[in-house]
Amino acid sequence: MGTDLPGFFVGTEMPTSGWWEALWPDPVGVLVAVGMEPGMDVIDLCSGDGWFTLQIAKIAHHVVAIDLDANLLDVARHRLAEAGATNCDFIADNAYELAELAPQPADFVFLANAFHGVPDRPRLARAVHAALKPAGRFAIVNWHSRPRDETTVLGEPRGPKTELRLSPEQTIGAVEAGGLKLAQLIEVPPYHYGAVFRRLET
**Phi, psi for residue 49 in degrees, rounded to 5:** -90, 10
CB atoms within 10 A of CB 81: 11
Whose Cβ is closer to ligand SAM: residue 31's or residue 68's?
68
Q: Which position among 76, 95, 128, 175 is part of the footprint of ligand SAM (CB under 6 A)?
A: 95
User: In the bound complex, which residue of the shown chain has the CB atom lying closest to ligand SAM?
Assistant: 48
According to DSSP, residue 80 is labeled H
Binding positions for ligand SAM, 8-67, rule CB under 6 A: 8-9, 12, 14, 46-48, 51-52, 66-67
Q: Reduce the DSSP state of residue 101 to 3 states and report it.
A: helix
Number of residues that bind ligand SAM (CB under 6 A): 20
Q: How far is the CB of 145 from ligand SAM (least distance, A)?
A: 16
Q: Which residues are paired to 64 by β-bridges? A: 43, 89
Whose Cβ is closer to ligand SAM: residue 5's or residue 202's?
5
Write the single-letter amino acid at 160: P
Q: Cα torsion at 131, 107, 141, 37 (round to 10°)?
A: -170
Please identify, among the stretches 33-41, 80-88, 107-115, 167-175, the one whose residues bind ligand SAM according to the rule CB under 6 A: 107-115
Nearest to 59 by CA among 36, 81, 80: 36
Whose Cβ is closer to ligand SAM: residue 66's or residue 188's?
66
Please identify, among the stretches 110-118, 132-140, 164-172, 192-200, the one whose residues bind ligand SAM according to the rule CB under 6 A: 110-118
Q: Which position among 36, 101, 112, 131 is part of the footprint of ligand SAM (CB under 6 A)?
A: 112
- Helices H / strands E in the chain, number of each: 7, 9
Residue 69 makes contact with ligand SAM by CB under 6 A: yes
Please, what is the angle between helix 51-59 and helix 70-82, to 10°?
50
Which residues lie near ligand SAM (CB under 6 A)?
7-9, 12, 14, 46-48, 51-52, 66-69, 72, 94-95, 112-114
